[in-house]
Amino acid sequence: MASLKQAVSIIKAGGVVAYPTESFYALGADATNPAAIARVFRLKGRDKKPIALVASDEQQVSRFFAADKVEREVARWHWPGALTIVLKPKKRLAASALGSLRIGVRVPKHKLAAGLARLVGKPITATSANPSGGRPTKSARRVRAWWPNVPVVAGACGRATKPSTVVAVDGGQLITLRAGATKI
């Protein structure tokens, strides 16, 4: 198991770690580093389906994403929490490496997940720590079985049994892209 301090160093050096969230383990990498994001895609065996991110707080989100009035209001009501909002990234994010020009981001309630993004100083990837098409897991042992060389951050996942709800705003209207843990 890796400590939070070790995980921060690994991510800042372009590596990937597995870390607990409100629901399941996630793979974390620097969202501004295209090579690190490519490692996440290779680990998962995934095509270019977009990868969501977690940020430490609304201030970190505003440094890396543009949000309109509706998006900011939705965030105020539901963050921290299991709601991913699809936003337009600013140039500092590796949007094309993440698989989309608009990226889903959330501010998690899980203190370790939010703390990891805070200590890294930027959003980190938050795709579930399982091979593409597989079931997400709350088990550090299972993550280590899939990827023995990926450090797993010590900690427990939260109680949520569903992934985050994903929403986007189009023409001022809120659209649910994936129903999940947060009711909209």
Q: Cα–Cα distances in Å, from 103 out to 69, 91, 135, 159?
A: 17, 12, 22, 25
Q: What is the mean pLDDT of residues 153-177?
A: 93
Q: What is the pLDDT of residue 117?
A: 98
Domain residue limits, the chain: 4-178
Residues 126-145 have pLDDT tens digits of 999 999 989 999 999 999 99
Residue 174 in this model has a pLDDT that exceeds 90: yes
What is the share, in percent, of the chain residues with pLDDT greater than 90? Answer: 83
Residues 56-78 have pLDDT tens digits of 999 999 999 999 999 999 999 99
φ and ψ at residue 173, rounded to 5 degrees: -105, 135
Higher pLDDT, 93 or 119: 119
What is the share, in percent, of the chain residues with pLDDT greater than 70? Answer: 97
Which residue, among 25, 11, 182, 14, has the nearest Cα to 113 in the 3D structure? Answer: 25
Q: What is the pLDDT of residue 50?
A: 86
Q: What is the pLDDT of residue 95?
A: 67
- How much is the mean pLDDT over the chain? 93
Superfamily of domain 4-178: DHBP synthase (3.90.870.10)
φ and ψ at residue 56, rounded to 5 degrees: -70, -35
φ and ψ at residue 115, rounded to 5 degrees: -65, -35
